[in-house]
Amino acid sequence: MSLIVAVSSLSGGQGKSTTSLLLALELAARGRSVLVVDLDPQGDLSAWLEADPLQPGALELLLKKGEAAECIQETAIENLSVIGAGDRLDSAQLYLSGRTAPALVLRQRLAPVVKDYDYLILDTPPARSLLGVTALGAAQQVVISAEASGKGIASLDRTRELLMEMRDDEATEAQLVAVIPFRLKVIGRNIVGKCAAALEVFQEELGDLLLPSLLESEQIAAAATNVRRLEGALAEPIVTLADRLEGKE
């Protein structure tokens, strides 16, 4: 059975695209078929996966200028495919604003290919927008990536608020299943002050939703840019997230 997961955060620099990619790599390495849909106009995920911007992508999918299967590109990674963001994805906002139910558009467009994948991972925009709304409308489960900082706390709160509003309006049935703190700064065995304070807030607010943190690390940054699966202790947050999605906890 397929699972559609949105990785969301309503501010930039929260590790959303990094989390999306590392999760996709972990699931693909487990032999799961994974489709990543890049809905972030910045297109980092598309660039990392070397999606061809001249091929139909998320914009064409949303505007129904191409069938879902025509918008999918294979990657160099076994079991991993992508629908790229393209250069003009922002222009989908105008189209979505004219739809009666924009939250349903992506769900409807992806429907013909959902059964072909074990997981569909939606990398959402880092702002409150109709692209984000249609992503959350399509999702069954939501993962929030939030920097261990005051900005991250604010982003987490705004993202949860949007999800709750959409659930109240019956625009989505998606459930928040996990929050991953991002860019946690550690010196020796000690968490740097502001990060420690933010992590304490996360722990108080989130309980079991809170997963281990992705550390501030050149290795993690390099894993994303080089499209390489994390291993060892640094991989714990992503492995834990994948286990949760697969019901292995």
Q: Answer whether residue 56 shows pLDDT above 80.
A: yes
DSSP-based three-state secondary structure for 248:
coil
Please choose, from the candidates 85, 90, 89, the residue with its C-alpha nearest in 3D space to the C-alpha of residue 73.
85
- Give the C-alpha separation, 84 to 103, whole Å: 20
Q: Rounded mean pLDDT of 181-189? A: 82
Q: Which two tokens stand for residue 223?
A: 């894993």
What pLDDT score was predicted for residue 96?
95
What pLDDT score was predicted for residue 73?
98
What pLDDT score was predicted for residue 22?
97
- Give the C-alpha separation, 34 to 191, whole Å: 34
pLDDT digits (tens, 9 = 90+) for 74-99: 999 999 999 999 778 999 999 999 99
Q: Answer whether residue 152 shows pLDDT above 80.
A: yes
pLDDT digits (tens, 9 = 90+) for 122-143: 999 998 999 999 999 999 999 9
Structure confidence at residue 193 as a pLDDT band (50, 70, 90): confident
pTM of the model: 0.95
